[in-house]
Amino acid sequence: MVQVKITGSTESLNPIKAQLSDIIHTCLREAIGTPEEKRFQRFYPLDAENFYYPKSCSSRYTIIEIIMFEGRSVGAKKRLTSLLFERINQQLGIAVEDIEIAILDLPKHNWGIRGLPGDELVLNYPINI
């Protein structure tokens, strides 16, 4: 299970939501094997009065928070981070200095999905990669 939260300024994020969503999902599929049909993303475009970020960043500053079942290797998570930086920069022109990524691993028992604790779910894809 993987959920993604994307936060950025309204003026920068809204025009690129669909393309950014595709980039993120493709990177998740390649790096950690997320199935095609398992796209769980939430966009948070914020008006300027609700979004403070470092002065060293531009108005394109974007935060990507990825919450997933624990089990992916450090190498798989580093590959994911590298792919995201590379592709977002190349395809959307957002500087890597304006992209911040946080990956949060949660034990399966900390999730509740389809009426069950996450550690009782039967998944049709591997998470220990």
Cα 90 from Cα 109, distance rounded (Å):
37
Please check whether residue 46 is in contact with residue 10, taking contact to mean a CB–CB distance below 8 angstroms.
yes
Distance between CA atoms of residues 126 and 129, nearest Å:
7
Strands 62-69 and 2-9, sheet pairing: antiparallel
Any domain includes 36:
yes
**Mean pLDDT, residues 29-34:** 96
DSSP alpha helix (H) spans, 62-120: 74-92
Query: What domain count does the chain have?
Result: 1
Domain membership flag for residue 76: yes
Q: For residue 126, is it within any domain?
A: no
Domain assignment of residue 129, yes or no: no
| Residue 82, domain extent | 2-120
Query: In this structure, is residue 24 part of a structural domain?
Result: yes
Q: Confirm whether 125 is domain-assigned.
A: no
Assess whether pLDDT exceeds 90 at residue 126: no
pLDDT band at 122 (very low <50, low <70, confident <90, very high): confident
The pTM is what? Answer: 0.91
pLDDT (tens digit per residue) in 36-64: 999 999 999 999 999 999 999 999 999 99
Question: What CATH number is associated with residue 17?
Answer: 3.30.429.10
Q: CB 16: neighbour CB atoms within 10 A?
A: 20
